[in-house]
Amino acid sequence: MKIPFNKPYLTGKETFYIQDAVYSGHLSGNGKYTKKCQTFFEEKYKFKKTLLTTSCTDALEMCAMLLDIKEGDEVIMPSYTFVSTALAFVRQGAKIVFVDSGKSQPNMDVDAIESLINNNTKAIVPVHYAGVAVEMDKIMQLADRYNLYVVEDAAQGVDSYYKNKPLGGVGHLGAFSFHETKNVIAGEGGLLIINEDKFIERAEILWEKGTNRASFFRGEINKYGWVDTGSSFLPSELTAAFLFAQLENIEEIQKKRISNWHHYYNGLISLEKEGKLKLPVVTENATNNGHMFYIVCNSENDRAQLIDFLKKKNIFAVFHYLSLHNSNYYSSIHGGRELPQSDYYSNHLLRLPMYYELEELSIDKIVKTIKEFYSSKTT
């Protein structure tokens, strides 16, 4: 039996809510289901204001617009991340200044940030890799000291915490993803999290194609028009209806994913003790939201062979980011500063199958196969 890398989970109510949205006659954005989803996040995580978006990429683009990022501004972020983290700011003209990953885990090395700050620096964008929080206190202190904004790319960080604060709610702005590979999904979808009052009004305008339509519908003004830049960042009610079914089940989804994570961890710990590979690290002030289970192989060669070995047994494991500072698009602008830890995770990290319906028996099989691989290697 094939064990895929990911399998989108359906709670069973998605099409019921979509049908309700369809027959209620409001299909475009910002209707009943959009409000239900936003209210869910504002109540459960006490976020000041949230706006559903068509993707996390879009939510990050909105952040770059809200911060008025322009040509000549610099934005600091990890190199070991998805393209969107950088792209959202590059589109506004920013220069990206990449930070290396940590020594013992892939998140950005917060101690390497300060020396990269100069008069052009506008923002820091921490990425909570695998849903494990970046050391946010240090970042917020730097932001205070140098008058910078902090945008959390919490695409993988739904329902995870830093010192009891939900991710996305620690910086000035934050973004979630509901792409089908994430914990709660909508096919494609995202959320902008606004933690400062001063951004709320403008965020609503950017969201609705640069118009003050949201104030109009609240009865605050008697006609609406073009007042700012923006785009069509809001998803249709069909997407929101799907997402709402997922949100109703978030606790069950999280419980199962976290349990799967521990099942992997307990199964593979002996290999870590033998020095054959490394397991994920959940740092002291962070929680684990069961977004991802990865191992770090000892060599690139080990990883390539293990991927093949697993594939022959119908188990699909995949590596992850390629350092953005080495990408075709950005390496010449980056200019050669070496980021060895980011490259190390690009070349050694391997993600194992992780999804709600993954059974413990399947995890046992994956663990057994990995053990077979390592014992066959030494003989």
> Cα–Cα distance between 133 and 154 in angstroms, integer?
9
Q: What residues act catalytically? A: 182
> Cα–Cα distance between 314 and 266 in angstroms, integer?
22
The nearest distance, CB 190 to ligand PLP, in angstroms, is 5
The nearest distance, CB 226 to ligand PLP, in angstroms, is 27
Contact between 345 and ligand PLP (CB under 6 A)? no
The nearest distance, CB 131 to ligand PLP, in angstroms, is 9
Closer of 87 and 279 to ligand PLP (Cβ): 87
Q: Identify the sign of the CA torsion 220, 222, 228, 233.
A: positive
Closer of 187 and 267 to ligand PLP (Cβ): 187
The binder of ligand PLP chosen from 61, 73, 152, 153 (CB under 6 A) = 153
Which x/- pattern, by CB under 6 A, does the window 7-46 give for ligand PLP?
----------------------------------------
Which x/- pattern, by CB under 6 A, does the window 169-208 give for ligand PLP?
--------x-x----------x------------------
Closer of 22 and 87 to ligand PLP (Cβ): 87
Report CA dihedral (56, 57, 62, 66) to the nearest 10 degrees: 100
Closer of 167 and 271 to ligand PLP (Cβ): 167
The nearest distance, CB 373 to ligand PLP, in angstroms, is 27
The nearest distance, CB 298 to ligand PLP, in angstroms, is 25
- Tokens for 138? 């240090």
184 phi/psi in degrees, rounded to 5? -115, 135
Contact between 55 and ligand PLP (CB under 6 A)? yes
Q: Which of residues 75-94 bind ligand PLP (CB under 6 A)?
A: 81-82, 84-85
The nearest distance, CB 37 to ligand PLP, in angstroms, is 14
| Count of residues engaged in binding ligand PLP, rule: CB under 6 A | 14
Q: Which residues bind ligand PLP (CB under 6 A)?
A: 55-57, 81-82, 84-85, 127, 153, 155-156, 177, 179, 190
